[in-house]
Amino acid sequence: MKTVVSLICFLFVSILSFSQTYEIGGFLGGSNFIGDVGSTQFVNPNKIAFGGLFKWNRSPRHALRASLTYSTLSADDALSSDPRRNLRAYSFNVDILEASVGIEFNFLDFDLHTAIPMSTPYIYTGISLANHPNFYFTNIDLISEKTRSNAYGIPIILGLKTTLSRYIILSLEVGARYTFSDELDGSEPDTEELKKIVRFGNFNNNDWYVFSGFTLTYTFGRKPCYCSF
């Protein structure tokens, strides 16, 4: 048993000794929806969003990033500037769980192995997958389809990050997600039979949602010899 434990410890230390710089932390902010129901303001957080993220810094200019975020998407026609939506009076509140992977690019060098305070704007993009419930409207009543679907999307995040210490990084970011789905707001039911009856809205536009808030991450790992990609 001691031999097995010693071997595991040796492998763990060996991995860390050749590791690059990693970040792990959390996200806290708000969410808002942009679609066929509710307000069309681009950044208008109305529900709490929170989650976790992990980064693998491949160079001072870019990192591979993965995140998991939970929130409630909320929309209400009464808050829209469109009088037609005011009269229709649709509203919904649904939970959403998003997983995302992609690449984060720093506009300035961001070397985590220097003692000098640093800041840089950055952009992130990749692919996202949002799990959400299916529902539709009859008059103003929201009817659940008692199923869930996955909406793939493209996140576009703009942010600014700064080092609070050698190991702590604070970021402020706003990220829009363009989805390949029109089902998040109930305007297009998941069931084919229902689509012919209760579908509404602009059939040419898919749904968007936005997460805006702060991330706080802790850095660890040995100073790397950066790879060529």
Output the domain CATH number for residue 210.
2.40.160.20
Per-residue pLDDT of 3-35, as tens digits, reads 434 533 443 444 444 445 899 999 999 999 999
First to last CA, the chain: 41
Considering the entire predicted model, what is its pTM?
Answer: 0.86
Give residue 193's pLDDT. 87
Please report whether residue 155 resides in a domain.
yes
Please report whether residue 80 resides in a domain.
yes
**Residues of the chain predicted below pLDDT 50:** 1-5, 7-19
Please report whether residue 7 resides in a domain.
no
Q: Virtual CA dihedral for 52, 209, 48, 169, nearest 10 degrees?
A: 40
Please report whether residue 131 resides in a domain.
yes
Per-residue pLDDT of 128-160, as tens digits, reads 999 999 999 998 899 999 999 999 999 999 999
Give residue 20's pLDDT. 57
Instruction: Output the 3-class SS for the chain.
Output: CHHHHHHHHHHHHHHHHCCCEEEEEEEEEEEEEECCCCCCCCCCCCEEEEEEEEEEECCCCEEEEEEEEEEEEEEEHHHCCCHHHHHHCCEEEEEEEEEEEEEEEECCCCCCCCCCCCEEEEEEEEEEEEEEEEEEEECCEEEEEEEEEEEEEEEEEEEEEEECCCCEEEEEEEEEEEECCCCCCCCCCCCHHHHHHHCCCCCCCCCEEEEEEEEEEEEECCCCCCCCC
Please report whether residue 16 resides in a domain.
no
Please report whether residue 187 resides in a domain.
yes
Q: Torsion-angle region of residue 139: left (phi > 0), alpha (psi -120 to 50) or beta?
A: left
Please report whether residue 13 resides in a domain.
no
Q: How far is CA 229 from CA 58, 61, 62, 120, 206, in A?
A: 7, 11, 9, 20, 33
Residue 68's domain comprises 21-220
- The structural domain count of the chain equals 1
Please report whether residue 51 resides in a domain.
yes
